[in-house]
């Protein structure tokens, strides 16, 4: 597979160019290129670049969201071919994600979902206002490695603890790790409620998730 | 020397030291107190007063503070708000309990738990074209019931001449209104993918905001001292959109809006914008912002109060900075007291600072902490500053 094509794939994600990303994915299929190669060597490095730029404050939400949309377009083209060939992406781990009961803030949680998914995690996003038992049920159903919980209000932060309790009740702890985040959440609070990981931002969440599943982060 | 509250605020707006640092509390939603916290506060103070909501809007959940409580909190300003058109109240009073509250724009608050309401209805979620903007049934901003009470309310406070008067027509914030219409993520994505649509939507909304603001200011005249507008532009450690995009799309709208307001009133311009907005402060100064709120100290560079005071202390009156993420809900009264002292010591010298909680005081803030905040201002906020 040509370096030129891989480079163009990467750039299409960085540019958030949905049409270009889709066209390049089709081109890869027409040339008989292994879809996994296109994903892992073409598109994923693009979203990693975007994540790094976002983390460094050089890129902002609209551009990041466009990059994620471009990624989805490319994946939608490549997925059927992967199914046909009977190949699966090697995921770093399975993550169940959501915003706690009583809270419908979702931008931060969506960012984490985007970056985890782009980084190679299999993400099951439960959305917002999610009852604690639902996190635990889903974790059991998909055999999750990690449950990620977000709260944006000081009044809903206690919900993070309830999710950990629900996982305890189903005897999923300590095998299933818990990552918490959201504007009012601090490392101290995360430690206090017995969470396994905490991050201030989406890129940090990826690093924490990788550490928890035993994948070395770059840096 | 002892000043009236109004003189105190006006002096600090001149960047001069009044007798003490002014306190803004309960003047609008931003500096407001949620009903459960207000009830506990009244109980602690032994104050008998009705549970009224601002805008008569229980779904928003913010209390309309009674005068006794406002005085006990040493509040130096009083608010004048607009109202929803009467038909919005009638329609919502007639709706089945627990169903979505729909406002005049067609966006609304959904009850996700008993008594807990969030913006959950976004009527233009799927729109991406200018045609859809043209077809949308936009609210009538000329409905007289929106501002029928404003003249009298502002006049009464002006004649009383005791408190600074802050006019806040409800959420005339173009960017946030676009979030309400589309949902935050949809609109942010459209800023990237459908730039012309996003710009047209903001311009449409800004035009409507301006129409209502014109009616509000016509009624309030020069009786008000401060007009509050804003738009949340920051997150915990960065901006929602790039400075470049802000300057291209939103700044011209804010600049027009502020110029319009300043052509109609002598009142100072109070701009509310959450999160870390440090990188836009020069822009705000340039377009005529006089008062910056809420100085979210938990967000990125806004934590650096020294730098803020040094670079912008003579250009902007700073209002807020009392943390609502940790200190007010989870701190002890003494921690609140020490934090208020720290903030006043940094932002207070020379005037140009008003104490306020960063965000609305939520259900979980103990009444003792609310009192600790305002009493610390009496204790540490007296001028001349000892730290100068």
What is the predicted ipTM? 0.86
Contact B189 A186 (CB under 8 A): no
**Whole-number pLDDT of residue A183:** 82
Would the CB atoms of B193 and A69 count as touching at under 8 Å? yes
More confident residue, A154 or B266: B266
A167-199, pLDDT tens digit by residue?
Answer: 999 999 999 999 999 888 888 889 999 999 999
Arithmetic mean of pLDDT, B346-374 = 97
Contact B252, B294 (CB under 8 A): no
Residue B61 is encoded by which pair of tokens? 């959940």
For residue A54, the model assigns a pLDDT of 87
pLDDT tens digit sequence for B264-319: 999 999 999 999 999 999 999 999 999 999 999 999 999 999 999 999 999 999 99
Q: Which residue has the tokens 């650096």?
A: B304
Average pLDDT over residues B320-328: 96
Percent of chain B with pLDDT over 70: 98
Could you give the CA distance from residue B262 to residue A184 in angstroms, rounded to a whole number? 36
Query: What residue has token string 């459960």?
Result: B36
pLDDT above 50 for B388: no
DSSP string, B87-103: HHHHHHHTSPTTSPEE-
Interface of B with A in 197-256 (CB under 8 A): 236-242, 245
Nearest to B118 among A65, A104, A154 (CB): A104
Q: Does B184 touch chain A (CB under 8 A)?
A: yes
Most A CBs within 10 A among B118, B119, B298, B366, hence the mutation to make, goes to B118
Residue A217 binned pLDDT confidence (cut-offs 50, 70, 90): low
CA atoms within 13 A on the CB side of A17: 14
pLDDT at B386 over 70: no
Q: Which residue of A has its CA nearest to B185?
A: A107
- Count of C-beta atoms within a 10 Å radius of residue A9: 27
Measured in degrees and rounded to the nearest 5, phi and psi for residue B166 equal -115, 120
pLDDT in tens, B34-48: 999 999 999 999 999
Does the pTM surpass 0.80? The reply is yes
CB B90 within 8 A of CB B148: no
Pair type for strands A197-198 and A177-181: parallel
Give the tokens for residue B23. Answer: 């306190």
Query: Given a cut of 60, is residue A218 above it in pLDDT?
Result: no
- Does the pLDDT of residue A219 top 50, yes or no? no
Among B54-63, B179-188, B294-303, B378-387, whose mean pLDDT is lowest? Answer: B378-387
The Cα A65–Cα B7 span in angstroms is 48
CA B272 from centroid of its chain's CA atoms: 5
- Domain chopping of chain B, boundaries: 5-84+141-380
Return the residue matching tokens 């209805």.
B121
Sheet holding A93-99, edge to edge: A121-125, A93-99, A146-150, A177-181, A197-198
Can you tell me the distance from the alpha carbon of B322 to that of B298, in angstroms, rounded to the nearest whole number? 10
**Which pLDDT tens digit goes with each residue over A12-67?**
999 999 999 999 999 999 999 999 999 999 999 999 899 889 888 899 999 999 99
CB contact under 8 A, A104 and B364: no
* Statement: residue B352 has pLDDT above 80: yes
Q: Do A200 and B238 touch (CB under 8 A)?
A: no
pLDDT above 60: residue A72: yes
Taking residues B100-116, what's their average pLDDT? Answer: 89
Neighbours of B263 (CB within 10 A): 9
Is residue A154 within 8 angstroms of chain B, CB to CB? Answer: yes
Residues of B in contact with A102 (CB under 8 A): 112-113, 116
Measured between alpha carbons, how far is B252 from B249 in angstroms, rounded to an integer? 7
Residue A15 in contact with partner chain B when CB distance is under 8 A: no
pLDDT, residue B373, reads 98
Dist CA B246 CA B238 (whole Å): 13
For position A216, what pLDDT does the model report?
Answer: 75
| Percent residues over pLDDT 90 in chain B | 90
pLDDT above 90: residue B105: yes
Task: Give the per-residue pLDDT at B257.
Answer: 96
Which CATH architecture best describes the domain B5-84+141-380? Answer: Alpha-Beta Barrel (3.20)
CB of B198 closer than 8 Å to CB of B187 = yes
Tens of pLDDT, residue by residue over A90-138, are: 899 999 999 999 888 888 898 899 889 888 899 999 999 999 999 999 9
Q: Across the interface, do B326 and A184 touch by the CB < 8 Å criterion?
A: yes
**What is chain B's mean pLDDT, rounded?**
95
Distance, in Å, from the CA atom of B181 to the CA atom of B172, rounded to the nearest integer, reads 13
> What is the pLDDT at residue B358?
96
Task: Report CB contact under 8 Å: A110, B185.
Answer: yes
Q: Chain B partners of A155 at a C-beta cutoff of 8 Å?
A: 329, 362-364
Say whether B192 and A59 touch across the interface (CB within 8 A). no
- Quick one: closest CA in A to B243, which residue? A60
CA B67/CA A17 separation, integer angstroms: 56
What domains, with CATH codes, occur in chain A? 3-85 (1.10.1240.10), 93-212 (3.40.50.280)
Task: State which residue of chain B sits closest to A59, comparing Cα positions.
Answer: B242
Asked if B246 and B187 count as a contact pair (C-beta separation under 8 A), the reply is no
Task: Give the CA count within 13 Å in the CB-facing half-sphere of A11.
Answer: 9
């Amino acid at each position: 597979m040509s370096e030129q094509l891989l480079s163009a794939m990467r750039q299409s994600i960085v540019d958030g160019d949905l049409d270009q990303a889709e066209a390049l994915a089709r081109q890869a299929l027409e040339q008989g290129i292994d879809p996994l190669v296109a994903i892992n060597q073409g598109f994923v490095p693009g979203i990693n670049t975007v994540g790094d730029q976002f983390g460094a404050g050089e890129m902002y939400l609209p551009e990041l969201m466009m990059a994620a949309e471009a990624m989805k377009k490319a994946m939608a083209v490549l997925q059927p071919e992967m199914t046909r060939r009977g190949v699966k992406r090697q995921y770093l781990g399975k993550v169940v994600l959501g915003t706690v009961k009583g809270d419908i803030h979702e931008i931060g949680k969506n960012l984490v979902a985007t970056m985890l998914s782009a980084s190679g995690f299999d993400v099951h996003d439960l959305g917002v206002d999610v009852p604690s038992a639902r996190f635990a049920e889903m974790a059991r159903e998909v055999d999750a490695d990690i449950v990620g919980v977000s709260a944006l209000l000081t009044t809903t932060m206690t919900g993070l603890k309830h999710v950990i309790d629900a996982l305890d009740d189903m005897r999923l702890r300590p095998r299933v790790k818990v990552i918490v985040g959201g504007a009012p959440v601090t490392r101290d609070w995360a430690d206090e409620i017995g969470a396994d990981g905490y991050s201030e931002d989406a890129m940090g969440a990826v690093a924490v998730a990788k550490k928890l599943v035993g994948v070395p982060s770059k840096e | 020397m002892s000043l009236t509250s109004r003189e105190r605020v006006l002096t600090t707006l001149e960047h001069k030291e009044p007798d003490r640092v002014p306190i803004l509390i309960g003047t609008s939603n931003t500096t407001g107190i949620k009903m459960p916290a207000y009830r506990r506060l009244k109980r602690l103070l032994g104050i008998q007063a009705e549970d009224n909501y601002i805008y008569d809007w229980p779904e928003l959940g913010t209390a309309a503070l009674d005068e006794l409580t406002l005085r006990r909190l040493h509040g130096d300003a009083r608010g004048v708000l607009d109202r929803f058109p009467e038909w919005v109240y009638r329609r919502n009073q007639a709706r089945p309990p627990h169903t979505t509250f729909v406002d005049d724009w067609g966006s609304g608050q959904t009850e996700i738990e008993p008594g807990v309401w969030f913006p959950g209805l976004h009527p233009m979620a799927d729109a991406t074209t200018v045609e859809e903007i043209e077809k949308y049934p936009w609210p009538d901003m000329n409905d007289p019931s929106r501002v029928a009470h404003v003249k009298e309310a502002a006049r009464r406070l002006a004649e009383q001449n005791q408190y600074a008067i802050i006019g806040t027509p409800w959420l005339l914030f173009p960017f946030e209104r676009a979030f309400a219409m589309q949902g935050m993520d949809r609109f942010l994505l459209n800023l990237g993918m459908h730039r012309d649509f996003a710009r047209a939507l903001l311009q449409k909304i800004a035009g409507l905001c301006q129409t209502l603001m014109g009616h509000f200011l016509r009624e309030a005249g020069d009786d008000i001292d401060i007009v509050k507008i804003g738009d949340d532009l920051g997150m915990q450690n960065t901006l929602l959109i790039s400075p470049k995009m802000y300057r291209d799309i939103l700044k011209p709208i804010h600049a027009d809006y502020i110029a319009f307001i300043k052509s109609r009133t002598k009142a100072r311009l109070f701009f509310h914008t959450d999160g870390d907005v440090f990188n836009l402060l020069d822009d705000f100064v340039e377009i005529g912002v006089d008062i910056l709120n809420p100085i979210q100290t938990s967000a990125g560079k806004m934590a650096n109060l020294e730098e803020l005071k040094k670079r912008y202390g003579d250009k902007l009156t700073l209002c807020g900075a009392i943390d609502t993420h940790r200190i007010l809900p989870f701190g002890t009264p003494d921690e609140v007291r020490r934090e208020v002292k720290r903030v006043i010591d940094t932002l207070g010298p020379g005037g140009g600072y008003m104490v306020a909680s960063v965000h609305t005081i939520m259900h979980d803030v103990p009444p003792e902490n609310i009192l600790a905040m305002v009493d610390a201002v009496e204790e540490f906020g007296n001028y001349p500053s000892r730290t100068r």
